[in-house]
Structure formats: structure tokens, C-alpha cells
């Protein structure tokens, strides 16, 4: 293997950095968009044809742009936000814009699973729309939301592999530049094993958390 | 307490207008346990939802405790909803929360302080008999226990009205009985007016004092429960009554009769209250020269008042039979001549209700 232990460790750190920060902002964006998609749809608590009609296609557009294209296409925007268009931090901006809309769809699905009767009961109690979201929808969907975020996190790890295109670094980047492009099979193997372990770990944590919070069969 | 005045609700479905409610006029008095019965699609679900504005009427008004809720601001409406508890067929409880937190929810939403919540929640949980399940999650409970949680949650804000949307339809007969008993206690001990919608006549018989029958978005019959049970006016109502009070001759006996004597005259007698104790049949047999053949009889209880049904065959001269009918009528017993299957009146000999109904 031609790459040093330092490079691998650095890459692990970069991946963790991109995934955790990207997930934090991506999940926040996804939660806001996901809730909006649910509550503004027809017949729901804050039905609003205009808001839904705008948010829904925007989410679709971001979902359909291949990540590598998005990465390059929004360079001016990235520069505006973080001051630079290259490096690990710069890679986080497109990662958030890529994963946020994806998470919003997962969250939308989770929230739509909540029995309509729950919302009816909430309305009968005189809950405000905000209370319905916070005290009824989110707690009831919580186990399912955990699984959604777990799935999204794993998707995010995949996306970070492409962050190398803007000098983002990370394990995926090491696999491509040192392993793939220099025909170093050992590097490919090591990075892939690390990524697999990472994904396994996250899925396990997600499943455990889900079970912990689910009180229904 | 609840008054529907020309209440209508229309939906538009694929250019077709559906009248879920068609000019409903109905008054539920304070202290009533009022039942609305109808087949699914009759509009009863929509009706009960207009009371707390889960459905807004497209025409007419619903006055609840003297207020037209549609004229209130959102804030006033939320405040008013604390006076209207509601329980549901599928309970609609939060599976992510414990029994305590479910029951506490209406109070939490209005920002009541913790100590007060704890006191009140424990109070209502005790009332519904679930104090031992305080920290259980909903999925650990049986259907009956779930509905008890639902009732506790509805009572926690001290409402004046309780709306029951098919509250026992998902429960077995035994559990249904115990939930109905509990609702009766809610009515008496907390003096809460209850509006129940159901498709089970059983529920009406067990606890309601007044009833309305709905069909195609309209009220087709309304009155106190004894009236409706003893003298149903429409086919639908008769069907509902017959679902719990059998007053038909069993098919096999009917066939035997057809063979034995196709020209017999058969009468249906209804006894209400004290009349049940009258030895009418034996008196008639002694006094008149007719033979009486008892074909069918049963007795049921409506709001503590016994209510009996008897189907008899009178064999004798027509003039003598008429005398018998008059004699029975004079004893304040309802009598009508029926075809032999007991369900279709041949011609009404009048329906005189005993004083027991009105008294």
C-alpha cells in the first residue's frame, strides 16, 4: 500500500467531519422541508396550495441533479456561504443541498404514516398547528424518523466520495485518487473496508435507537 | 346544550355534490345521553364532527352551550373545545407516550402547571379504573383499557359535553358493556351531556335516553328511546329495533302455521312498564270464547323499564276476536294485527301507548 497511515487517518477525519456537519444542516433543512411538504398538502392542517406548489418541485429538482454536477454548479453559491469553493468545508455546502431534499422526502413519508385519527384527536383538543406538529406528529413518527435519518446518513457517506472533485478529501477521495487512479488495490481494499464498517456501525446505531423509541409493535 | 339548526354539509366529489348533512334540526338537552344511529354513510360521523367543528357546516348553525362556534375567533374556539371532550372508535391515542402523558395531553397543551396536571390526571385515571396502568404504553393495553384512556383524556379538562364517535364499535360485547357502564357514570357523576353516534342499537338500548335515526344525511325519526323502541315509524328504525329486540316468529313456526291454518289471525302485543305484570292472555281466554296460541314472546329492559313483546294467534269468530282486541287495548297494551311473519302490519288497530312511556 503506497499511502501512509497519516493519509488514511486524515481521510477518516475528513469523512466524519463532512458527514456530521453535512448531516446536521441537511437534517435541519430536510426536517423543515419535510414538515412543510406534509402540513401544506391538500386537506392537512396548514393546507397552502402556493407553498406546496413551490416547495414540492424545488425538492424534486435538487433530487434529480446528479451530485457531481451540483457540486460544480453551485460553486459561486458555496463561495458566498463559506468564502471558498475548495476544501472539506466547501464540500459541505453542496452536500447539504444534496442530502437536505432527500431527507425531506424520507421525513415526509415518515410523517404521513402517522394515523390521521391522531391529528383529529389533536384538533378536537384544540391544539394549534404548531402543537400538532411538535406534540403529535413528530413524537408519533420519531422511530420512523430515526430510520429515515439513518438511511440518509449512509447516502451522505456515499456522496462524500465525490467531494474529492472540489478538494474535499475523505475516504472516498483516497480510494479514487490513490487507489483507482494509481492502480493500488490495497488502498482501495482498506478504504472500502473502512467505509463498510462505518456504514454497518451507523445502521446498527440507527436500528438500536429506533427500537429504543418505539413503544408500539 | 347542543342545537343543530338547519345544519347542512355538502362535499364536491368529481363534480358531484354529496349532501352529507341535509338540513338537520336537532336538539340535545343538558344531561341527555343522546344517541344518533344510522348505517354507515348516513352522515352521523359528519354530524358529530360539526359539534366541535372538525367539520364546518356549509349551511345552518350548530349552537353549543349557547354559542355558535363558527362565529368565534381561533383562540376562543380552542378555549371552547375544552368544554367538548371526544372519544373515537380507534381511540386515537399516542403510542409514543405513556397512559399518563396521553391523558395529560389536553392540559399540557394549555400550559397547566405540572403539579395540577398530576393531580387531575390521577383523579380521572382513578375514575376510569386505570390507576395501576399510569406508566404503561398504549400498546400494552387491551381495547377496553385503551378506550378508558380515551375517556380519561376527554374528561381531564372537565368538559360539559362528551362526543362519542362509534366509541364501542371496535370492542367485543363484554367490553362494550363495561365501557357503556362507564359512560353512564360519566353522565351521572360528572353531569356531562353525552352525544353518541353508533350503528349498534345495543348501545342505544343500554344507555341512551333519547335517540335520532339518520338516513341519507337526514334525521328520519327522533324521540325518547322507549317511543322509538315501542313504535318505530320507519322501515330503517324498525330494522334497527329488530336487531336487538326480536319480535318475529321464528321461520320454522311460521311454516308450520301456514300449513296448519293459512287463515289464522295473528296479533302482536307490546307491553311497557307495569303492563308486563298483567295476566292478559289467561284473562282473555277465560272471558271470551276464543283460543289463544302464544307464538312468540320476549322481554327486555329499556332504561329500567321492562318492555315486552308477545305474538299470539287468536282462533275464534271474527266478532269475538274484535272484542278481544278492544279488551286488550283498554288495558293500555299496544296491539296490532300482523301477517304471520310478525314484521309487517296488515292494518294498524291503532297504537295506544301506556302511560308508562310518558310518565
Local confidence band at A210 (pLDDT 50, 70, 90 cut-offs): very high
User: Do B85 and B114 belong to one domain?
Assistant: yes
Q: How many domains does chain A have?
A: 1
Helix, strand, coil shares of chain A as percentages rounded to 5? Answer: 80, 0, 20
Give the Cβ contact number of residue A50 at 10 Å: 8
Whether chain B has a CB inside 8 Å of the CB on A43: the answer is no
pTM of the model: 0.82
Give, in degrees to the nearest 5, the angle at Cα B63 between B59 and B66: 150
Binned at pLDDT 50, 70 and 90, residue B357 comes out as very low
What domain range is B57 assigned to? 2-243
Judge if B206 and B75 occupy the same domain.
Answer: yes
Q: Write out pLDDT tens, residues B28-72.
A: 999 999 999 998 888 899 999 999 999 989 999 899 998 898 888
Question: What CATH number does the domain containing B57 carry?
Answer: 3.40.50.300
What pLDDT sits at residue B261? 67
The last residue of a domain, from among B188, B221, B243: B243
ipTM for the complex shown = 0.84
CB-neighbour burial class of residue B294 (10 A; exposed 0-12, middle 13-18, buried 19+)? exposed
Residue B259: φ, ψ to 5°: -75, -45
Q: Between helices A49-64 and A88-112, what is the axis angle to 10°?
A: 130
Q: Are B168 and B268 in the same domain?
A: no
Which of the two residues, B304 and B190, has the higher pLDDT score? B190
Query: What per-residue confidence (pLDDT) applies to B300?
Result: 79
- Total count of domains within chain B: 2
Inter-chain residue contact A125 with B81, CB threshold 8 Å: yes
Check which CATH number belongs to the domain holding B339 and give it.
3.30.70.260
User: Is it the case that residue B271 has pLDDT exceeding 50?
Assistant: yes
Domain boundary among B220, B243, B266: B243
CA–CA–CA angle B35, B41, B46 (5° rounding): 60
Mean pLDDT taken over chain A: 91
pLDDT at residue B232 tops 90 = no
**More confident of the two residues B86 and B251:** B86
CB contact under 8 A, A215 and B137: yes
Average per-residue pLDDT for chain B: 85
**How far is Cα B52 from Cα A60, in angstroms, rounded to an integer?**
38
Candidate from A117, A127, A217 with C-beta closest to B92: A117
- Residue (of A139, A166, A198, A183) closest to A71 by Cα position: A166
pLDDT reported for residue B355:
34
What cell does A171 get? 475516504
* Average pLDDT of the segment spanning A18-41: 95
Query: Which of A48-62, A152-166, B215-229 reaches the highest mean pLDDT?
Result: A48-62
- Per-residue pLDDT band at B359 (split at 50, 70, 90): very low
pLDDT for residue B14: 80
DSSP state of A35: H
Same domain, B332 and B190: no
Lowest-pLDDT choice from A15-19, A62-66, A166-170 = A166-170
- A75-101 mean pLDDT: 90
Residue B350 has pLDDT above 50, yes or no: no
Q: Of B176, B208, B243, which residue constitutes the final position of a domain?
A: B243
pLDDT value for B163: 96
Q: Which three cell numbers stand for residue B347?
A: 292494518
Shared domain check, B8 and B143 = yes
pLDDT of residue A1: 62
Q: Check residue A58 and give its pLDDT.
A: 95
Are B252 and B165 contained in the same domain? no
B130 and B198 together in one domain: yes
Spell out which residues of chain B touch residue A128, defining contact as CB-CB under 8 Å: 78
Q: Do B95 and A213 touch (CB under 8 A)?
A: no
B161 and B306 together in one domain: no
Interface touch A215/B96, C-beta < 8 Å: yes
Average pLDDT for A122-148: 94
Whether residue B276 is predicted with pLDDT greater than 80 in this model: the reply is no
Regarding whether B335 and B236 lie in a shared domain, the answer is: no
- CATH number of the domain to which A171 belongs: 1.10.3720.10
Please tell me the predicted confidence (pLDDT) of residue A186: 87
> What percentage of chain A exceeds 90 in pLDDT?
64
Instruction: Please judge whether B81 and A131 are an interchain contact, meaning their C-beta atoms are less than 8 angstroms apart.
Output: no
**3-state secondary structure at position B15:** coil
The confidence score (pLDDT) of residue B240 equals 87
A191-200: long-range pairs with CB below 8 Å, 24+: A191/A8, A191/A11, A194/A8, A194/A12, A195/A157, A195/A171, A198/A15, A198/A157, A198/A171, A199/A154, A199/A157
Question: Smallest Cβ distance to B88: which of A117, A136, A140?
Answer: A117
The range of the structural domain enclosing residue A26 comes to: 5-213
Q: What angle do CA B15, B16, B20 make, to 5 degrees?
A: 135
Q: Do residue B238 and residue B323 come from a single domain? A: no
Contact B84, B50 (CB under 8 A): no
- pLDDT top residue among B149 and B235: B149
> A46, A24, A27, A22: which is closest to A36 by C-alpha?
A46
Q: Which of B82, B108, B138 sits opposite A126 (nearest CB)?
A: B82
Judging contacts by C-beta atoms under 8 Å, the chain B residues touching residue A126 are: 77-82, 106, 109-110
Q: Please report the pLDDT score of residue B326 as a whole number.
A: 85
Whether B95 and B198 map to the same domain: the answer is yes
Q: How far is CA B297 from the centre of its chain?
A: 23
Which pLDDT tens digit goes with each residue over B128-158? 999 999 999 999 999 999 999 999 999 999 9
Nearest to A33 by CA among A43, A22, A41, A21: A41
Q: Give the pLDDT confidence of B303-334 residue by residue, as tens digits.
A: 777 888 888 888 888 888 888 888 888 877 88
**Which of residues B286 and A19 earns the better pLDDT score?**
A19
How far CA A43 is from CA of A40, A116, B55, B284, in Å, comes to 8, 11, 12, 66
Higher pLDDT, B286 or B189: B189
Q: Which of A121, A135, A142 is opposite residue B88, by nearest beta carbon?
A: A121
Please check whether residues B213 and B172 belong to one and the same domain.
yes
Is pLDDT at B74 greater than 90 in this prediction? Answer: no
The whole-number pLDDT of residue A34 equals 96
Does B317 or B274 have the greater pLDDT score? Answer: B317
Q: State the burial class of residue B58 (Cβ atoms within 10 Å of its Cβ: 0-12, 13-18, 19+).
A: middle
In this prediction, residues B223-234 reach a mean pLDDT of 86
Q: What integer pLDDT is reported at residue B275 of this predicted model?
A: 63
Amino acid at each position: 500500500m503506497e499511502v501512509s497511515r497519516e493519509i488514511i487517518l486524515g481521510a477518516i477525519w475528513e469523512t466524519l467531519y463532512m458527514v456530521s456537519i453535512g448531516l446536521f444542516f441537511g437534517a435541519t433543512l430536510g426536517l423543515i422541508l419535510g414538515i412543510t411538504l406534509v402540513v401544506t398538502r391538500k386537506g392537512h392542517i396548514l393546507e397552502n396550495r402556493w407553498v406546496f406548489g413551490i416547495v414540492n418541485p424545488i425538492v424534486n429538482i435538487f433530487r434529480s441533479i446528479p451530485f457531481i454536477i451540483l457540486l460544480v454548479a453551485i460553486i459561486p453559491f458555496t463561495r458566498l456561504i463559506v468564502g471558498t469553493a475548495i476544501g472539506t468545508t466547501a464540500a459541505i455546502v453542496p452536500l447539504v443541498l444534496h442530502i437536505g431534499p432527500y431527507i425531506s422526502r424520507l421525513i415526509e413519508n415518515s410523517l404521513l404514516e402517522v394515523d390521521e385519527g391522531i391529528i383529529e384527536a389533536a384538533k378536537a383538543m384544540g391544539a394549534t398547528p404548531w402543537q400538532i406538529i411538535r406534540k403529535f406528529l413528530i413524537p408519533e413518527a420519531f422511530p420512523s424518523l430515526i430510520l429515515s435519518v439513518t438511511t440518509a446518513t449512509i447516502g451522505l457517506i456515499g456522496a462524500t466520495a465525490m467531494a474529492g472533485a472540489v478538494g474535499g478529501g475523505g475516504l472516498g477521495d483516497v480510494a479514487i485518487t490513490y487507489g483507482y487512479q494509481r492502480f493500488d488495490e490495497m488502498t482501495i481494499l482498506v478504504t472500502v473496508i473502512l467505509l463498510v464498517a462505518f456504514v454497518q456501525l451507523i445502521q446498527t446505531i440507527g436500528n438500536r435507537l429506533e427500537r429504543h423509541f418505539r413503544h408500539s409493535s | 346544550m347542543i342545537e343543530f339548526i338547519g345544519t347542512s354539509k355538502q362535499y364536491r366529489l368529481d363534480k358531484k355534490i354529496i349532501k352529507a348533512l341535509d338540513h338537520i334540526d336537532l336538539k340535545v338537552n343538558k344531561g341527555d345521553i343522546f344517541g344518533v344511529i344510522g348505517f354507515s354513510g348516513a352522515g352521523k360521523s359528519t354530524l358529530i364532527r360539526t359539534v366541535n367543528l372538525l367539520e364546518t357546516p356549509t349551511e345552518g348553525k350548530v349552537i353549543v352551550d349557547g354559542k355558535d362556534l363558527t362565529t368565534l375567533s381561533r383562540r376562543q374556539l380552542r378555549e371552547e373545545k375544552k368544554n367538548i371532550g371526544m372519544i373515537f372508535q380507534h381511540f386515537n391515542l399516542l403510542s409514543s407516550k405513556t397512559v399518563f402523558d396521553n391523558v395529560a395531553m389536553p392540559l399540557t397543551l394549555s400550559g397547566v402547571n405540572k403539579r395540577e396536571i398530576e393531580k387531575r390526571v390521577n383523579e380521572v385515571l382513578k375514575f376510569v379504573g386505570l390507576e395501576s396502568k399510569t406508566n404503561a404504553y398504549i400498546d400494552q393495553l387491551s381495547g377496553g383499557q385503551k378506550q378508558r384512556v380515551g375517556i380519561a383524556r376527554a374528561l381531564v379538562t372537565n368538559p360539559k359535553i362528551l362526543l362519542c364517535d362509534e366509541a364501542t364499535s371496535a370492542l367485543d360485547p363484554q367490553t362494550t358493556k363495561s365501557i357503556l357502564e362507564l359512560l353512564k357514570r360519566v353522565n351521572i357523576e360528572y353531569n356531562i351531556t353525552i352525544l353518541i353516534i353508533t350503528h349498534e342499537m345495543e348501545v342505544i338500548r343500554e344507555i341512551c335516553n333519547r335517540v335520532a335515526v339518520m338516513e341519507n344525511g337526514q334525521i328520519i325519526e327522533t324521540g325518547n328511546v322507549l317511543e322509538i323502541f315501542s313504535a318505530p315509524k320507519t322501515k330503517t328504525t324498525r330494522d334497527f329495533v329488530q336487531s336487538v329486540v326480536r319480535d318475529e316468529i321464528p321461520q320454522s313456526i311460521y311454516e308450520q302455521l301456514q300449513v296448519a291454518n293459512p287463515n289464522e289471525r295473528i296479533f302482536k302485543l307490546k307491553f311497557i312498564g307495569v303492563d308486563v305484570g298483567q295476566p292478559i292472555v289467561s284473562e282473555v281466554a277465560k272471558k271470551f270464547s276464543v283460543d289463544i296460541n302464544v307464538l312468540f314472546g320476549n322481554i327486555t329492559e329499556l332504561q329500567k323499564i321492562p318492555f315486552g313483546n308477545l305474538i299470539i294467534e287468536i282462533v275464534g269468530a271474527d266478532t269475538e276476536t274484535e272484542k278481544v282486541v278492544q279488551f286488550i287495548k283498554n288495558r293500555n297494551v299496544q296491539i296490532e294485527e300482523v301477517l304471520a311473519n310478525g314484521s309487517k302490519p296488515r292494518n294498524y288497530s291503532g297504537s295506544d301507548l301506556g302511560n308508562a312511556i310518558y310518565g
